[in-house]
Structure 1
Amino acid sequence: MTSSKQDIEMLKYEEKDFIKEKLKKIPNSPGVYMMKDRHGGTLYIGKSKNLKSRVRTYFSKGEKPDKIVRMVHNLKDISFIVTDTHLEAQLLECALIKKLKPIYNVQFKNHQNYFYIDIGHDIRKKPLLISFIRTDSNSYGPYRGKGMIYHILKQMENIYPIKRVGEDFDFDFSIFPQKMKEQDFKENKLSLIEILSSEKGNTEFIEKTKEKMMDASTLSRFETAKAYRDIINGISYLYYNNLKAGYKYLDKPTVFGEKIEKGIKVFYIVSGVIILKRVYENIKDDDVKKFIEEGKALTKIRGESKDEKRSLDFRRIVSLELQDNEGKIIFL
């Protein structure tokens, strides 16, 4: 839905002095901005590589979504926090949203609702189950997006049982899920454990599924080929978004520097949390060694986070940021 002409008029906050003054003060820097109501409550928290440019978009001409119209209508103040880097802005935004839970933010607020996937032990139940706690070593996750995950699990039911045959996996697509015997269920369970736990098993399963997808396409069985393609995408998502696999490397310290105006800012990060950060005008090898030793000592004092659902969002932010190497130097 788009806003009405009357609602659009509400967006003309550029005519109000306090907005004009706020926009003058907001710098062209990375950071976090907070939209406040008349009671000082936080309506929305956002981040940007350029705060001034981002905040101005809320008051630009043109139609706005109803959500933005309502938020700006209730807006009475804007505060901001400047950061040296976009990474710090992203992590700060995430932490503030979790703490303050602004009404207009959706992402990051409800990590307690993240869930796990369990491999079933009972033939009377489904081979893959959704759980809200980590039950044992065969729990995978935590994951977000229950609807999407449920769809992936439903798709997998059409290729059960999956069996190991030497160095290969054996399975076939069926329009209707097949009822498994006890032995089939056990073999299927072992295959699922390997596919979700082992990079080798995951890769081999995906390669076999690709072969079957190509065969189905050659035979003009396009719906079956599409189903195989969706299974490939789904199982890849489950594996690489699993804390025990795709984000496991983040349990080890990550040390990198990012170029900023004042030199280079170095970060010591564990499990998506910045343990130590420091700015150097000119960094030397000895500086890096001392920084790493200090980071290790602080990590021992701080201890590990026990709330892996909460840490998931921070891990994802760091993981995605490290994939962008522009302006960064990886030390460890």
Structure 2
Amino acid sequence: MIALNLADGINIIRSHLKTAPNAPGVYRMLNQHGDVLYVGKAKNIQKRVTSYTQVNRLNNRLQRMVSATKSMVFITTRTEAEALLLEASLIKRFKPHYNVLLKDDKSFPYILLRTDHKWAQITKHRGARKHKGYYYGPFANAGAVNRTLNTLQKVFQLRSCTDNTLETRHRACLLYQIKRCSAPCVDKVDDTEYGDMVEETRLFLEGKTSDIQKKFAASMQTASDEMEYEAAAVYRDRLNALTQIQSHQTIVNAMVDEADVIAAAKVGGQVGIQVFFFRAGQNWGHRAYFPRHDKSEDTASVLSAFITQFYDNKPAPRSILLSHKLDDQTLLAAALTERMERKVDVTVPVRGKKADTVKEAIRNAKEAIERKLAESANQTKLLEGIAEAFALDAPPDRIEIYDNSHIQGTNAVGGMVVAGPDGFIKNSYRKFNIKSETLVPGDDFGMMREVLQRRFSRLLKEDSDRERGMWPDLLLIDGGKGQLSAVWETLDELGVGDVSVVAISKGPDRNAGREQFHIRGRSTFTMPHNDPILYYLQRLRDEAHRFAIGTHRARRKADVKKSPLDGVPGIGPKRKRALLHHFGSAKAVIGADVRDIESVDGISKAIAQQIYDHFHE
């Protein structure tokens, strides 16, 4: 059967060779559902695709891929470098099964020094660069940014508050009292002095710390000579704070001024990658990655695929230092240079301080993958224990945990979290805003029915043959027999009878450690209070509880922010702002007469009457 499928796949690929272009570009292999199996780039698409028809040159993995291929799509590009960048973008979009895939691709935090306001603001920033100013980063994590910002406030005392807060303050805030802000909001500092602090901050973040230190030391000495001891103490404290920052951000050799060091190590068939960030001669942290790949992939090919995906949505530094020589290293440098519109060097240092830095990154990569494998082994044991405890046929690959949250029926939401062999799968979490208008407020059973009905109706529609890995092996429900019955009623109505369901309730006195487990057709049971499986199940339940409560609070907070003016026809943000500035509150608008409303800038007589009628039908 496998040979027959392989023959079919080769024939399908041959049929597409007739339309395959003799040009650089990207090709996609699709299965019978239209899902992307593989994304590849080529200098010549037709020649590259032809290689898939030569059976003797295909390893087992490629044979499986060709066997599943039912269609192909081609996209041409101007250059091979463009094809490389497009390939990375499509891999991240479609997440093909047969590609190396960067799974954790969160954006990095930056420090933003805004210059689009009279009083420049310093703050943490993620996402699109919408504000005019200077962006410094990336930092490896939010903690590194927060520590740096905290100390920068001590040293340079720039404002961190929003523009709205700045413009509405009438007296200095607590940050001024504890010497973390110079309080430009209430004129505690003049334009010139504040401008100097902004320039000093910029110079420091660009690595010119010695100039700042010399300036502070000279100012401290001058103040001391003139017996202005309070001013001298201020400069002394600033110098101490600068030293504190430098102790957290180790100054490295000037040869590594702006660079990312990317090192890979392979342990037990799994490649781990460590990325170190150096900017302005400072180490701004490092982060570990564990890309998904087939065990037959060599370390260099995994590293190459990782780099193209890593920089798909991030600016590349001027220098990238690697642990392994790549086959497409020159092409990669050309592609990143084209994207950044400035030269980007991609090199493998062999001696000197750069090579020492790469060796340190390799050591960190190896330690990270060893920790990851140890955690995976422990996770495997836990899943095997769950299979034994709940009489499952095999350890579950996908566990879905459900919980609901509301306050007396208001802002009701359901939450679903997902766990598997690699821990929590956060990009698979889902929230369900309860929509039914027939539910009695606080009906937990009804809420659970709605959540499961929506979840499995969609599954039956999108993955009816269960080939896409979207179906759970186990449902864990936060609740007792009532919730269990509600879930099974829903699943039976949908014709889903082969999914294992377990409800977990707090047990007597709602004490952790005395949880009771409910399974259809089986008596309620408990586990020993010191059983690692019980601890793991508690973690799963608590994560679902945390997610559901967080979603509920976010929805409740959004409702609290709503104004009665939001529902008035013809009132947009601009008129709403004008009304609130004029009257001070929505309540005052509701109590005003037509003539008072009409006196507001931008409100015509007709609009004023419309507002009045809305609240006085």
TM-score of the superposed pair, with normalisation by structure 1:
0.38
Q: Which has the larger radius of gyration?
A: 2
Q: Which protein has greater RCO, CA pairs closer than 8 Å, 6+ apart? A: 1
